[in-house]
Amino acid sequence: MAQNSLILITILVSFTVATASRHISATNSSTNLVSEVSDGVHYGHKGILTLSSSTNELELCDQTYGFMPCTTSVLGNLFLISVYGYLMFLAATYLSTGSELMLEILGPGIVGGLFLPILGALPDALLILVSGLSGSPETAQDQVSVGMGLLAGSTVMLLTVIWGSCIIIGKCDLQDSFAIDNQDTKGFNLVGSGVSTDIWTSYSAMTMAVSVLPFIVVQFPQILHSTSGRQLTVLIGLIISISLLIAYCIYQVYQPNIQKRRLAFAKHKHVRSGILRYLKTNAFGGLLDDQGQLNREVLYKLFNSVDVNGDGHLSQVELRSLVVGMQLNINLNEDDTIYKVMKEFDTSGDDEVDFEEFITGIGNWLEEARLTKTHSPIAGPDTTNYIHDYYEETKREHYLLGDEGGEDEEHEEGDRDPHQTTIKAVLFLLLGTLVAAIFADPLVDAVDGFSTATSIPSFFISFIVLPLVTNSSESVSAIIFASRKKQRSASLTFSELYGAATMNNLLCLSVFLALVYARGLTWDFTSEVLVILIVCIVMGVFGSLRTTFPLWTSLIAFVLYPLSLVLVYILDYVFGWS
């Protein structure tokens, strides 16, 4: 694939140089251009071919870098958009491939938390940068709408069209508000099928909603209908955006460790609730007496049923038999689980649990279970019905956190040579960055030329077309993960979409604000910002308040996309917002 892509790039670059048109200039001293071509024989008037044309009718185009092909026709610019867009697609693909290879070698941490999000947003950031970097401030002010169109279009497309498509592709049957992995028998049932994600995905959605704060800050002068202080608010917005970007990257770096600790705690909590349920099920009478105190006689019988060798103490081997016999159906590290259970019961430190320690430990667990779930006020003091509620809650908590030890991780090339993989990853990253840097500016010029030729505002072209190019890697990756129809893969899918939108709101906006501030451009994008705010806040709050998404939720996402376009058009061209 890489060799074919390199060949294609070479051909396209050669085409670019070979077809570069010559720049035609005209003097201002005459209203007509007269070209005389001699036939080599006659020198009189009849031997001269005279071409006359008004300079007002002569249309010229500016060549990017002085040699890139340019055109003023609709089809010509459309062709250039297709060519340059495909090259940017290749750049995004190379960056994505290189990032995944680097992640495979170095693991999550800094690579997954810092490099991957930045590299994923790099094509968008470069396109935004070049949209207002070249030319005079007046030209930059005109072209910067391409950057804003890309910024808004990329975010909106990820959270609407791609989000809704992933719901449809990844849908499974819903049972008790949870999606059942790999079971899709209800077809397109709007309430009976959907996807479930873990709690970390909800946190990602919440983070994405918060990331729109810089947009609100920079919009304050327009909200107050003030023309003063706009540059200052742009600077403040830039500082806030960069600060949030740094905070987000730091969080991403440490998030894997946070996830592991929370998951380990949730597993241990589920083991405790499982032991309580097991004891309640096998108790020869209630665990509590009529006064709500521990029933020592019943617990003594339970203790003896676990104490296989009858020595009056529970060893690690006997506790292991108890935990394994419960069949909790979760991925457990048995040694770690037994160690934690023993540590909670063994107050004497002799690595064994006697009956009194057993009584104390069970009493503490029952108290925690009682306080966790509110039980019926008419129930007697001897009731332990809350144990079932406690067990179901810990089971749900463990499910929502996700289990990183699942079997759906595929390592088809686990025996790769780290040295060769590193070289390959670096080459992909360098090539992707180089291609994106070279062809970002020509793509922006082609979009601007197409806008001029068709009289279609460049914002709408960049809003619809450019995200198809820059979001390609995230979209393909998200759809592939969603098609696996599992809770873990669905969580990865939507976390990636929320993460990409967050980087648009922070990294890409930082580049945009820096460009506006450095070049003294005018921040004049009220309607565009409103669209970003509506989509990010609606989808962010929606995604943070629930972990299961029935099929009908995809309709909300799909409707938001055309609604965004219509809203921008009405506000800009009907009400004249600016």
Average pLDDT over residues 18-43: 42
Task: Decide if 27 is inside a domain.
Answer: no
Q: Based on the fold, state whether residues 80 and 179 are members of the same structural domain.
A: yes
Phi, psi of 403 (to 5 degrees): -115, 110
* pLDDT at residue 527 is higher than 50: yes
Q: Based on the fold, state whether residues 150 and 188 are members of the same structural domain.
A: yes
* pLDDT at residue 105 is higher than 60: yes
Higher local confidence (pLDDT), 506 or 572? 506
Task: Decide if 15 is inside a domain.
Answer: no
Residue 44 has a pLDDT of 44
Question: Over the chain, what is the mean pLDDT?
Answer: 78
Q: Based on the fold, state whether residues 82 and 231 are members of the same structural domain.
A: yes
Residue 409 has a pLDDT of 43
Domain membership of residue 508 as a residue range: 74-265+417-575
**Domain final position from 383, 409, 444:** 383
Measured distance CA(363)–CA(487) in Å, rounded? 35
* pLDDT at residue 84 is higher than 80: yes
Residue 314 has a pLDDT of 86
Q: Based on the fold, state whether residues 458 and 571 are members of the same structural domain.
A: yes
* pLDDT at residue 41 is higher than 70: no
Task: Decide if 40 is inside a domain.
Answer: no
Number of domains in the chain: 2
Q: Based on the fold, state whether residues 107 and 229 are members of the same structural domain.
A: yes
Task: Decide if 276 is inside a domain.
Answer: no
pLDDT band at 369 (very low <50, low <70, confident <90, very high): confident
Q: Which tens digits make up the pLDDT trace of 401-412?
A: 665 444 444 444
For the chain, how long is the longest CA-to-CA vector? 129
Task: Decide if 125 is inside a domain.
Answer: yes
**Domain final position from 383, 406, 427:** 383
pLDDT band at 293 (very low <50, low <70, confident <90, very high): confident
Average pLDDT over residues 10-37: 44
**What CATH number has the domain bearing residue 370?**
1.10.238.10
Lowest mean pLDDT among 14-18, 133-137, 359-363, 477-481: 14-18
Q: Based on the fold, state whether residues 109 and 183 are members of the same structural domain.
A: yes
Measured distance CA(535)–CA(541) in Å, rounded? 10
Q: Based on the fold, state whether residues 260 and 373 are members of the same structural domain.
A: no
Measured distance CA(166)–CA(161) in Å, rounded? 9
Q: Which tens digits make up the pLDDT trace of 149-176?
A: 888 999 999 999 999 999 999 999 998 8
**Domain final position from 336, 367, 383:** 383
b/e burial code for range 430-447 (CB count within 10 A of at least 16 → b) = ebbbebbebbbbbbbbbb
Task: Decide if 395 is inside a domain.
Answer: no
> Do residues 504 and 122 lie in contact, with contact meaning Cβ atoms separated by under 8 Å?
no
- Sheet strands (E) in 97-242: 172-175, 178-179, 193-196
Q: Based on the fold, state whether residues 425 and 519 are members of the same structural domain.
A: yes
Q: Based on the fold, state whether residues 148 and 206 are members of the same structural domain.
A: yes
**What CATH number has the domain bearing residue 260?**
1.20.1420.30
> Do residues 178 and 198 lie in contact, with contact meaning Cβ atoms separated by under 8 Å?
no
Higher local confidence (pLDDT), 94 or 532? 532
Q: Based on the fold, state whether residues 328 and 182 are members of the same structural domain.
A: no
Sign of CA dihedral 136, 141, 146, 152: positive
Residue 193 has a pLDDT of 93
Q: Based on the fold, state whether residues 94 and 237 are members of the same structural domain.
A: yes
Task: Decide if 44 is inside a domain.
Answer: no
Residue 72 has a pLDDT of 86
DSSP 441-463: HHHHHHHHHHHHHHT--HHHHHH
Q: Helix 137-157 to helix 418-454 angle, to the nearest 10 degrees?
A: 120
Task: Decide if 41 is inside a domain.
Answer: no
pLDDT band at 205 (very low <50, low <70, confident <90, very high): very high
Q: Based on the fold, state whether residues 82 and 219 are members of the same structural domain.
A: yes
